Amino acid sequence: MTSIPVMINGLPGNVAQIMASAAIRDERLTLVPFSLTGEIIDDPSVTVDGQKITLLKPSIRDSRIGHILEAYPDLIVVDYTHPTAVNANAEFYTEHRIPFVMGTTGGDRDALEAVVNLADTPAVIAPNMAKQIVGLQAMFEYAAKTFPGLFKDYTLEVKESHQQGKADTSGTAKALVSCLNDLGLGFDVNDIQQIRDPKVQEKEWGIPKEHLGGHGWHTYTLRADDGSSLFEFTHNINGRDIYVSGTFDAVVFLDKKRREDDDGKRLYTMIDVMTQPG
């Protein structure tokens, strides 16, 4: 199997560094020595596991992408940048006909999907790339379709804790709230409680100190209006390694899709990735 050239965008960010390091070790992939970064980043390059990667700001990326695509014509992008960059980056990828995996949450998701659906190349977009979390989300979606209104006489409380630098509300929490609302709840995603204070995370939540800089803890509490019952669902992730496998499975999925006969579909989710034949 010929290795797939992959460009990890978002360096020198922590998640992007984990992805780049893993890509170097993955025999299916070839890490492209360039990464899109933010305009405020001063460093011209970053070194990951001994490999130098040139950082490209928005102001110069248009002048460089042509040469990169000439050198790596089968390029696939993995985006772990910033919520404020999601839509502009997606437009950049589709304009240059680059398949991409959008691991970054936030941005205007409706506009993001619209851009992909009008594009010439496919993309995988998901609020969470961890396959176990995606499986959990699929179970909730099944329940919502099979048992609509099951929790109509319940109220919902949602709390999510992430590292202090996370700028947006958890996309995973929003996705699961959507399913829970189909089960009869009327919860507003703006009422999701965001916990970003490391002191609160460590002392009140019990999050290990070594994972305060990278974690995703979620709790969904459903209470019957008459006080007779309570259901609580929790999923806690320490670190970011869990996202690697799903992300790279999505890269391989896109590489396969672009080599198949064009069926006109452009937008895929992690559920598509996980349920693909073979």
**Same domain, yes or no, for 118 and 252?**
yes
- At 117-166, the pLDDT tens digits run 999 999 999 988 999 999 999 999 999 999 999 999 999 999 999 999 89
38 shares its domain with 111: yes
CB of 166 closer than 8 Å to CB of 196: yes
175 and 92 in one domain?
no
142 and 120 part of one domain: no
pLDDT of 278 over the 60 cut: no
Q: In the chain, how many domains are there?
A: 2
Q: Which pLDDT score, from 0 to 100, does residue 2 have? A: 84
d(CA 72, CA 130): 27
Same-domain pairing of 29 and 121? yes
- 245 and 115 in one domain? yes
Strand pairing partners for 230?
223
Give the relative orientation of helices 242-259 and 131-146 as an angle to the nearest 10 degrees: 80
Question: 220 and 266 in one domain?
Answer: no
Sign of torsion, CA 254 27 24 271?
Answer: positive
Amino acid 1: pLDDT: 61
- Tell me how far the alpha carbon of residue 159 is from its chain's centroid: 19
Q: Are residues 11 and 108 located together in one domain of the fold? A: yes
Strand partners, 161: 195, 217
First to last CA, the chain: 16
Do 184 and 266 fall within a single domain? no
Radius of gyration over every alpha carbon of the chain, rounded to an integer in angstroms:
20
Peptide bond into 12 cis (omega under 30): yes
Residue type, 110: D
Statement to judge: residues 264 and 183 lie in one domain = no
**Shared-domain flag, residues 118 and 141:** no
Q: How far apart are CA 8 and CA 17, in angstroms?
A: 8
CB 156 within 8 A of CB 187: yes
Kindly give, in sequence order, each residue whose CB lies less than 8 Å from that of residue 152, ignoring residues fewer than 6 positions away: 183, 184, 185
Active site includes 162? yes
Q: What is the DSSP letter of 151?
A: T
Specify the pLDDT at position 187: 97
Q: Considering only CA atoms, which of 32, 39, 22 is closest in space to residue 85?
A: 39
The residue assigned the tokens 């009869």 is 184
Of 131, 166, 211, 218, the active-site residue reads: 166
Q: Are 115 and 247 found together in one domain?
A: yes
Per residue in 50-108, pLDDT tens? Answer: 999 999 999 999 999 999 999 999 999 999 999 999 999 999 999 999 999 999 988 99
Q: Which CATH number do you get for residue 71?
A: 3.40.50.720
Q: Is 199 a catalytic residue?
A: no
Summarize pLDDT for 165-198 with one digit per residue, the tens: 898 899 899 999 999 999 999 999 999 999 999 9
Domain with residue 169: its CATH number is 3.30.360.10
The one catalytic residue in 131, 162, 211, 235 is 162
Domain residue limits at 218: 131-238
Q: What is the mean pLDDT of residues 236-253?
A: 95
What is the dihedral sign for C-alpha 88, 138, 247, 117?
A: negative
The pLDDT of 6-30, averaged and rounded, is 97
The helix/strand/coil state of 9 is strand
Q: Is 120 exposed, middle or buried (0-12, 13-18, 19+ CB in 10 A)?
A: exposed
